[in-house]
Structure 1
Amino acid sequence: MNATTSTNLRDVLSNLISKEQSRIKNFKTQYGKTNIGSISVDMIYGGMRGMKGLVYETSVLDADEVRIRSHGYSIPECQQLLPKVPGRAEPLPEGLFWLLVTGQVPTEEQVSVSLVMHYGERVWHSSLAIAFVRIEKCFFSQFVYEDSMDLIAKLPCVAAKIYLNLYREGSSISTIDSSLDCDATFTELMRLYLIIHSDHEGGNVSAHTSHLVGSALSDPYLSFSAAMNGLAGPLHGLANQEVLVWLTALHKEMGGEVSDEKEIQPTFLAFCLYLQVVPGYGHAVLRKTDPGYTCQQEFAFKHLPDDPMFKLVHQLYKIVPNVLLKQGKAKNPWPNVDAHSGVLLQYYGMTEMNYYTVLFGVSRALGMLAQLIWSRALGFPLERPKSMSTNGLMTLVGANKSG
């Protein structure tokens, strides 16, 4: 069987790796010394924002096209092309992982045979935290693949155990009981959530952390654990909690009523002036509405159009960008994925906001681990950018000479 049609992910990946190793070697030989753009002092002080200095294959953010593309496929294209459960609208996250690893849209057979078997065999073998489920192995790429697959298989159980420890007095997981499954619509939301949070280019805190730690030949368990620590920050994975807290306060300020935009605007303006920022609005790269927001909006219109909190989110979407533009508070006044996700989770009864980052982490593992497999397969070196002191930087740009 040809590797491109094989249902064994390892065989497909092995064939792709050898070709990609040769392609990148030839590219570096011809263009390794070529300069890419220019780097400014503002970029250096601005958290390296916009600097092209990292190879991350699985996804790219296109600020002009306003798309997040996974190997060239936008989120709506992934929703359309990836295999689904019969009768359901949202694609299977297992299919997205195949796409992230191989760059190919999988067949239904490839997803069901290769990945679902892996989950079924391994997912319930561990209920320990990520850092403690790691297995000591060599540093070679084949073991990174194996560890990554093991970790992805174990993460649902780890996440479930965290939930039980925090909110159900540490109840144990013994067997899979399908009668306790969430309703079908919430399951659809979880598939959508996994898809839109799975990967976000390589420069965000969690993805960059996994790439950096992995470059030290740390195994996938350690790399992902480090990434989760970054994800837990309020400027990253906690953002949807911050949005939900703000929305709840705004809703209360309005007396629990959702008015039209003319009535809501004075209340919003007061909140905007008080907070200085509007949670859920703005993006480091995109300059229009985040496609992850749009997907969730479409889901809400379909399944919960009369929910008061969704109505509030949608009314704000009509108001906030213009207010921020007039006040000059944001270069990008458009909503991001976090502006919507907390409201959807809350609607279906998942009110434990501190748990949202765990769900985010399970999602983001698909992209980070797919990239880690390739980073190790291609022998990417230890990541070690050059840092400079302010005096050294001023000397470099000739600022000292001008006094």
Structure 2
Amino acid sequence: MQVDYVLDAGVEYDDNVLLLPEDPVSETFARAGVGFLVRQASSTIQANVSGRADFRDYQDNTYTDSVEGELSGRINWVAIPERLSFTVEDQLEQQAIDRFSPDSPNNRQQVNVFSAGPNLFFGLGRSLQGLLEMRYIDTDAEVSDEFNSSRYGTALRVTKQFTSGSRLSLNGQWQDVDFDDNLLARDYKRTDAFARYERTYAKFGLSIDAGYSQIDYNAGGSRSNPLLRGKLDWQAGARSRLSLVAVDQFSDAAAGVDEAGTTNTIPYSVLVNSTSLESSAYHERRYSLSYAYTGTLLSLEFQPYFQRLDYLDAPTPDQKSSGALLSLDYRMAGNLLLGVRTDISRIEYDLSNRSEESRRYGVDLEKRWSRHWSTSLAYYRYERDSSLQGEDIRQNVWYVSIRYRNR
């Protein structure tokens, strides 16, 4: 088992801690945090668990002192090799309570999606393999009760291996969604049937899902839609990679949390998801392009995207969003690391004729004194322009910190 962790502490100054359009209030507060990554890959246990906890001590008591955290984990226990395993997954994150309001400590809640169940593998021939999955899923939100539910699902997959880099699978999935409060949400059953083709070349990777989905409400009525997903990876050079993703499918807030997935990096901050936490399923169309370059001195990642969400049975207005993410790290002389972050997005809400454009800019300079110790100085600016009069916001944040890594 490998355990990596980071301890950090610092002081932050915020010139508009309440995110007010006018008469901003400034605040200075102390921060302390710990992030970790635990991995194990043995014949019996495969585990990948990462998380972080942040403590904030507000000096002027603008907000109550708080502890916020996130957790992403997957543990697979092999009971019978090549026959039976048991998988447990958990995704804990911070979500906005009101997506129309800017992010602040008063507009955050803990949201958790937990799933567990067995995986049964069986052979149907020399190149034909079968997999039966069963899952119990529990979704829970700290404030938004309409999100809370119990779900039972099963999936049957049959895969034909053509070559070492080419295979085709037929997939059938079924899920029963039972919300805790039937006055706030409609229970339903969802069925997905699709074929997946995967091909790996020397510098290309291709994955395509094509099929159909149907949602049947327990109280009557149904909705159906084609299911289309595609991903193309291209190793453009020895140091650069390009990925293209296209999605047209049914989804919901629980799947959105679960799709965050596990990572192989330690989280250095607790992120806040600003998407809507509705009970309703929605029709999602999403397209993104990602370019990454990793060099000796320079690392760069750029991702433009477009997304449209059409809710099936909620009063929430449909929305479309577009934007781009940019991250750049440059290693300077004297163990100095310069980082630049940019996040620009625009959201338009149907029916309400409301739109918002957000821009986040960040610059940080890190000095590494040894393999374990470093200090950093960071500046962050947030701007939000709203179509509603008097809702524009500006915020500047400075943060100085010290960090210890065990590796």
Q: With structure 1 as the length reference, what TM-score do the two structures score?
A: 0.22
Which structure has greater helix proportion? Answer: 1
Q: Which has the higher contact order (CA 8 A, sep 6+)?
A: 1
Q: Which has the higher strand share?
A: 2
